[in-house]
Amino acid sequence: MNGLMILIPIALFLGFVGLAAFLWSMKNGQFEDLDGAAWRALDDD
């Protein structure tokens, strides 16, 4: 039971970090040009 008290908050916190990262990247236009991003990864410079 004591283990759960620590583990569950940690699990939820990590989940929240993922969600926050997703919302942040959406706000920053990371999803605006998915096709272009795929190609830009191949750019040398």
Partner 1 sequence: MACCTSSDLAAPEPGLASISADDIRADSRSLGNGVSQITLSAPAIHCGACIGTIESALGSLHQVARARVNLTERRVLIEWRETATDAELAGIIATLARTGYAVHTETGEPETDPEFSRLLRALGVAGFSAMNIMLLSVSVWSGAEGATRDMFHWISACIAGPTILYSGRVFYQSAWSALRNRRLNMDVPIALAITLAFIMSLYQVINSAEHAWFDAPVSLLFFLLAGRTADHMMRARARSRVSGLGRLMAKGAVVLQDDGQRRYLPIEAVKPGMTLLVAAGERVPVDGVVIDGRSDVDRSLVTGESAVEVATPGRALEAGVLNLTGPVNLRATSDAKTSFLSSMEAMMTEASAAHGTYRRIADRAAQLYSPVVHLTALISLIGWKLAGADWDFALQVTVATLIITCPCALGLAVPMVHAVAAGRLSRSGILLKDGAALERLAKIDSVVFDKTGTLTTGIPALAGYTGEAATLPFAVALARVSNHPYARGIAAGLADIPAATLADIGEVPGSGVEARSSDGALWRFGSPRWAANDLARTEAAVVLTRNGALLATFRFQENLRRGAFDAVAAVKSLGLATRIASGDAEDRVAKMAARLETDSHAGGLKPSEKIALIQREKSAGRSVLMVGDGINDAPALAAADVSMAPAAASEIGRSACGLIFLNPDLHAVPDAIMIARKAHRLVVENFVLAIAYNIVAVPLAVLGYATPLLAAIAMSTSSIIVVANALRLASYAPRRRDGGSPAAIVIGKGVPA
List residues near partner 1 by CB under 8 A.
1, 4, 8, 11-12, 15-16, 18-19, 22-23, 26, 31-36, 38-40, 42-43
For residues 31 and 25, the answer to whether their CB atoms sit within 8 Å is yes
Q: Give me 33's structure tokens.
A: 């040009």
Tell me whether residue 6 or residue 39 sits nearer to partner 1 (CB atom). 39
Cα–Cα distance list, 41 to 13, 16, 19, 34, 35 (Å): 31, 28, 24, 11, 11
Q: How far is the CB of 35 from partner 1 (least distance, A)?
A: 4
Q: How far is the CB of 27 from partner 1 (least distance, A)?
A: 8
